[in-house]
């Protein structure tokens, strides 16, 4: 019996089921951590930051294994890092705005600016 030369190549592309099960277990554990973070009454900025951090880990696991990016060449990895950097450049100002905007204006400050019983005169055209 002669061995088929394609058999070795075929074995290399066989899914590693044990690794997939481990990643699935890790994703389930991270999902439970996300739920636990939502149940702990943290300040909103900290809760969102922790939730995004856990989501980042989950996304990295999914991309690396299920999208088969783990074994890609270096050019693909560099392109992914550029994408991550640009995504962070877009998201960081939003997070910064959310953290700062709560410090400048609170509901009490707005309520003090407009005491009850004091109606502003209505202007025509607005």
Measure CA 90 to chain center: 13
d(CA 72, CA 92) in angstroms, rounded, equals: 28
- Nearest CA to 58 out of 89, 33, 83, 84 is that of 33
Residue 9: per-residue pLDDT: 54
- What confidence tens digit (pLDDT) does each residue in 83-103 have? 878 887 887 777 777 777 666
**H helical segments located in 1-126:** 5-12, 17-39, 44-61, 74-104, 107-113
- What confidence tens digit (pLDDT) does each residue in 17-57 have? 888 899 999 999 999 999 998 898 888 878 888 888 899 88
Residue 125: per-residue pLDDT: 54
Res. 104: pLDDT tops 90: no
- What confidence tens digit (pLDDT) does each residue in 53-78 have? 899 889 888 888 877 777 777 887 78
State both tokens at 115: 């005491």
């Amino acid at each position: 019996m002669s061995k088929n030369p394609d058999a070795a190549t075929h074995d290399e592309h066989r899914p590693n089921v044990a690794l997939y099960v481990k990643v699935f277990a890790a994703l389930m554990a991270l999902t439970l951590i996300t739920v636990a973070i939502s149940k702990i009454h943290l300040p909103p900025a900290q809760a969102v930051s922790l939730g995004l951090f856990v989501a980042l880990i989950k996304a990295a696991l999914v991309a690396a294994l299920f999208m088969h990016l783990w074994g890609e060449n270096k050019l693909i990895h560099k392109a992914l890092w550029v994408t991550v950097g640009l995504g962070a450049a877009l998201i960081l100002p939003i997070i910064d705005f959310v953290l700062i905007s709560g410090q400048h204006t609170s509901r009490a400050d707005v309520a003090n600016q407009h005491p009850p019983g004091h109606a502003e005169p209505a202007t025509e055209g607005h």
